[in-house]
Amino acid sequence: MKLFNSFIFAVVALPTLVFAGEPVNEMCPFTGNPVNPMVTAQVGDDSVAFCCGGCLSGFKKWDDARKVAYVAEQKAANAKPELAVTTPYLLDTCPVTGKPLDSMGEVVMEVINGREVRFCCAGCPTQFKADKEAKFKEIDAKMITQQLPYYPIDTCVVSGEKLDSKGASIDFIYGNRLFRTCCNDCKAEFLENPAKFVPELDEAIIKAQKKGYPLDYCIVGRGPLDGMGGPDFMIVGNRLVQLCCGGCIPKVLKDPLKVFAEIDSGKK
């Protein structure tokens, strides 16, 4: 079983498929088996390897954004000891107009201060940036309310002490994800090196949410969770998503709220 953290990706180039050198992945995105470094596809300047020609053919059917996102996920996962803790925008309304994100047509996404923010139209990002400190406070308050029910521990993510040991917990959003500390000193320590503290929280989320996970199939691939060597665990906004393989990650990132809705619909 593998644990995947959620990442923000920007599509920067269209891939052309050719044979290349050192691949970004060690396991095939379709089967989860070790790759054959001679069976590869080129995505921009990077190479993706597969266990067989059939999986290579399947990769060629992916759209450009999914290919680039997969490469970015593999490169981020290999960039040790760095650990990305960013999460997609998890609200269903525009932070400027308050309207549903799809109310004006295609959703607009921008990365602002290292965080993904989604808008209902192309005119909203400029308005957001004009007062971004206040706007971030508004969306942070909503994200804290949204994610708090799924937060798995009542102890400080840094010190391990009870969250109320010094009066009241410090709840804050980092990379669109909720973290909780017992005091501002611990918050400052977290912000100096977030990667140090995330794995333990991820394990707590898996432990708390795995037992009651309502789906026995991959929410993206639709097949059994162990169909490709999984289940693999992905944490999105302090929620567990179980997948059959790493190749399914980009679709979760594209529409995480749709994924959450299907998981919730499976609860009895």
Read off φ and ψ for residue 144, nearest 5 degrees: -65, -45
* Residue 120 three-state SS: coil
**Distance (Å) of CA 107 to CA 66, 87, 88, 99, 261:** 17, 17, 13, 11, 19
Please, are residues 24 and 75 in contact by the beta-carbon 8 Å criterion?
yes
Strand partners, 50: 36
Q: DSSP labels for 66-116? A: HHHHHHHHHHHHHSTT----------SB-TTT-SBTTTTSS-EEEEETTEE
Domain boundaries, the chain: 8-78, 85-139, 151-201, 202-265
- Indicate the length of the chain as a whole number: 268
pLDDT along the chain (268 residues), means of 10: 46 30 86 89 92 93 90 74 64 96 92 91 95 95 96 96 93 95 96 90 94 92 83 91 89 92 84
- Please give the sequence-ordered ranges of beta strands (E in DSSP) within the chain, or none if there are none: 3-5, 36-43, 46-50, 108-112, 115-119, 170-174, 177-181, 232-236, 239-243
Structure-token pair, residue 176: 């669109």
Q: Which pLDDT does position 83 carry in this prediction?
A: 39
Longest CA span, the chain: 60
Q: Which pLDDT does position 260 carry in this prediction?
A: 95
Q: Which pLDDT does position 16 carry in this prediction?
A: 27
Angle (CA) 104-109-111 rounded to 5° is: 150
